[in-house]
Amino acid sequence: MVNNIHIIGGGIGGLFTGALLAKEGYPVTVLERGAHVGGGLQSFTRNGVAFDAGMHVVGGLQPGGSLNRICRYLGILDQLHFRQVDADCGDEVVCLEDDMTYRIPQGIEAFTNYFQQLFPEEKENIQRYVDHLFALADQVDFFFLRPGSDSSPSSDKAFYQSSKEFIADHVRNPKLRSLLAYLSPLAGGDAGYTPAYVFSLINYLYIKAHSRFEGPAEQLAEALVSKIQEQGGEVLPCAEVIDIQMENGRVQSLTTADGRTFPTDCVVSSIHPQSLLKVTGGQLFTKASKTRLMSAPNNCSAYCVYAVLKEGTFPYMNHPCYCWDSYDKVWQYGKYDEENWPQNFVFLTPCEVNQGPFARALQVVVFVPFSICERWAGTTVGKRGPDYEEWKRKHTELVLNKMEKVRPGFRDCVEHLYDATPLTVRDYFNEPEGSLYGLLKDSRNPYAGYLPLRTKAENLFMTGQNVYLHGCCGVPLTAVMTAEAVIGEKDVIVRKL
């Protein structure tokens, strides 16, 4: 009999896993190191305007979608406020090289027809590409919450092929290849690394239909916390786990930084495996696993600029916008060329409740390697020094210069500016190297960027983006698998969804 379950980390993975276990009648306590829970669902306010820290667009919330089914089962769907992106322009792509703007529609058929009209000579190739892309996604049973499914790899030779090679195998036109890869940053896209199946799942979510939260994304975190508390569970902020006590191959208790001890029957870790490794001293992992984990590369981080806009000056956009200097930069997200930075980025206007025709805020996300600010890695917030502040000022100016090219007159719309670097991401989310998507998924070494649900301790399990798939849909799917592993009964939750 499990009398209590403790979850380390109150991010998306920890909260979804906790809510699912609580729904199944298990006593749950979530221990979060920060003052606020939510991880990538957190929001913050500047000058009365809310910004989302990490979650900006969401896939799988449409009726029948995996996230929709999970939220409906938990009884929180009616607490969420969201809107679909525009059907005729779910995503916008701007290329400064030839001053072209592409308005990519929602839906598989509309998506296919759009590119076939732009590149009629590639009509049959585009159809084959889309068919194969969605066929790859369909082979990942757990993505669709099918009973009896598991995470076994497909026999399709393209499954672990790199995404860039996968696209090149289907279409010939270099410009079309780049356009079809425009969602690469959401897949942690890196030429030669990102597996085609990861790319296919992200495309499935965002081509078919994706949504925006109306109001801060933290509404989802608040709904999950409420569900845990309704079932008698607890969510404790400022409770950083610093030690795990083991005996006879089982976790016996957890100790937090403020000296509290939590005896436990079962533990679920939702923190980055490299962070867990430091807490446990490596006793929960084999020697080979420890070596692999500590040497495994992390995905890219981000430099973000947040603009509070003057009222009535900038139109609200009901979709993200992806910007490139040139078509060959589509696979350069996460790269850094100081002389020409930024060469690609994403910007969007947050959606407020009762959103009107004008935006009150705009956020720019530039995907970058952690190495750009590694010289300040040992510093803390507010104590990084004047050279760091000057470095930020310079880089924010470069972002504004590029935004001015994409949206002339943008500077005149800005009332207040704020910025965040990979150090901010690292400290805010407790992610090594400020990684947005955890361990790098590598097509050449498919298992290097993944963790099993189970550890050497029979009562300690893993969840979160490093287990299977990242994102606001991928992490809840992993939570279902983790919760079922804890319960010890396969499909006990899936059959209820």
195-207 pLDDT per residue, tens: 899 999 999 999 9
DSSP-derived letter for residue 437 is S
pLDDT of residue 375: 96
Averaged pLDDT, 465-473 = 86
In a shared domain, residues 398 and 315: yes
| pLDDT cut 70: percent of the chain above it | 97
Measured from the Cβ of residue 340, the count of other Cβ atoms closer than 10 Å reads 11
Q: Are residues 164 and 229 in the same domain?
A: no
Sequence-ordered list of residues with C-beta below 8 angstroms from that of 283, at least 6 positions apart, any chain: 246, 456
Residue 220 has pLDDT above 60, yes or no: yes
Query: Of the candidates 218, 208, 285, which has an alpha carbon nearest to the alpha carbon of residue 246?
Result: 285
Q: For residue 362, what are the β-bridge partners?
A: 307
Give residue 274's pLDDT. 87
Q: Domain holding 271: CATH number?
A: 3.50.50.60
- Of 291, 271, 314, residue with least CA distance to 407: 314
When divided into structural domains, the chain yields a total of: 3
The Cα–Cα gap between 253 and 280 comes to 12
Q: Can you say how many angstroms the Cα of residue 484 is from the centroid of all Cα atoms in its chain?
A: 23
Query: Distance between CA 371 and CA 232 in Å, rounded?
Result: 44
Q: Tell me which of 47-61, 110-124, 234-248, 280-294 is least confident.
A: 280-294
DSSP string, 325-372: SSGGGTT-TT---TTT--SEEEEE-PPPTT--SB-SEEEEEEEE-GGG
Cβ atoms of residues 41 and 429 within 8 Å: no
Q: At what angle do helices 273-280 and 287-295 cross, to 10 degrees?
A: 130
Q: Is pLDDT at 154 greater than 90 in this prediction?
A: no
* Tokens describing residue 486: 């804890």
Q: How high is the mean pLDDT of the chain? A: 92
Q: Please check whether residue 48 lies inside any domain of the structure.
A: no
- E-state strands within 371-470: 414-420, 460-462
Please, what's the largest Cα pairwise distance for the chain?
Answer: 68
Q: Rounded CA gap, 27 and 24, in Å?
A: 9
**Residues 321 and 382 grouped into a single domain:** yes
Last residue of a domain, one of 208, 235, 269: 208
Q: Give, in order, the Cα–Cα distances in Å from 421 to each of 323, 329, 370, 438.
A: 19, 21, 9, 17
With bands split at pLDDT 50, 70 and 90, how would you rate the model's confidence at 1?
Answer: low
Q: Is 157 exposed, middle or buried (0-12, 13-18, 19+ CB in 10 A)?
A: exposed
* 290 and 323 assigned to the same domain: no
Tally of CB atoms within 10 A around 459: 19
**Whether 304 and 426 share a structural domain:** yes
Same domain (yes/no): 316, 412: yes
Most confident of 134-148, 152-166, 402-416: 402-416
Cβ proximity of 104 and 114 under 8 Å: yes
| Cα–Cα distance, 153 to 55 (Å, whole number) | 28
CA atoms of 426 and 433, how far apart (whole Å) = 6
Tell me the per-residue pLDDT of 65-89, one tens digit each, with 9 for 90 and over.
999 999 999 999 999 999 999 999 9
d(CA 268, CA 26): 13
Q: Is residue 54 part of a domain?
A: no
Residue 467 pLDDT exceeds 90: no
- Pair (329, 423) in one structural domain: yes
- Residue 102 domain-assigned (yes or no): no
User: Has residue 95 been placed in a domain?
Assistant: no
Among 380, 410, 434, the domain boundary falls at: 434
Q: How confident is the model at residue 190 (pLDDT cuts 50, 70, 90)?
A: confident
Domain ends where: 180, 208, 236? Answer: 208
pLDDT category, 228, cuts 50, 70, 90?
very high
The side-by-side arrangement of strands in the sheet containing 241-247 is 241-247, 250-256, 261-263
Examine the domain organization and report whether 31 and 77 are in the same domain.
yes
Based on the domain organization, do 345 and 226 belong to the same domain? Answer: no
Instruction: Report the pLDDT value the prediction gives residue 468, as an integer from 0 to 100.
Output: 83
Residue 93 lies in a domain: no
Q: 68, 365, 318, 61: which is closest to 210 by C-alpha?
A: 61
Q: Which of 234-248, 334-348, 432-446 has the highest mean pLDDT?
A: 234-248
* Torsion angle of C-alpha atoms 332, 321, 165, 438, degrees rounded to 10: 70
Residue 393 belongs to some domain of the structure = yes
For the record, the structure tokens of 458 come out as 């029979």
How would DSSP label each residue in 237-266?
SS--EEEEEEETTEEEEEEETTS-EEE-SE
In this predicted structure, the answer to whether residue 153 has a pLDDT above a threshold of 60 is no
Establish if 125 belongs to a structural domain: yes
* Residue-wise pLDDT tens digits, 343-384: 999 999 999 999 999 999 999 999 999 999 999 999 998 899
pLDDT digit string, tens, across residues 407-464: 999 999 999 999 999 999 999 888 999 999 888 887 777 666 667 788 889 999 999 9
**pLDDT class of 19 with cuts at 50, 70, 90:** very high
Average pLDDT value for residue range 100-104: 98
Which region among 7-21, 138-152, 213-227 has the lowest average model confidence (pLDDT)?
A: 138-152
Say yes or no to pLDDT of 278 above 90: no
Neighbours of 407 (CB within 10 A): 18
| pLDDT (average), residues 311-318 | 97
How high is the pLDDT of residue 470?
86
- pTM comes to 0.95
CB atoms inside a 10 Å sphere around CB 386: 7
> Are 115 and 196 contained in the same domain?
yes
Q: Is the pLDDT of residue 26 over 70?
A: yes
Averaged over 36-55, what is the pLDDT? 90
Domain span including residue 78: 5-37+59-82+215-296+446-496
The answer to whether 441 touches 449, Cβ cutoff 8 Å, is yes
pLDDT value for 473: 85
Tens-digit pLDDT profile for residues 251-262: 999 999 999 999
Looking at the fold, whether 352 and 420 belong to one and the same domain comes out as: yes
Name the amino acid, one letter, at 404: E
Q: Is the domain of 393 the same as that of 358? A: yes
Classify residue 484: in a domain, yes or no. yes
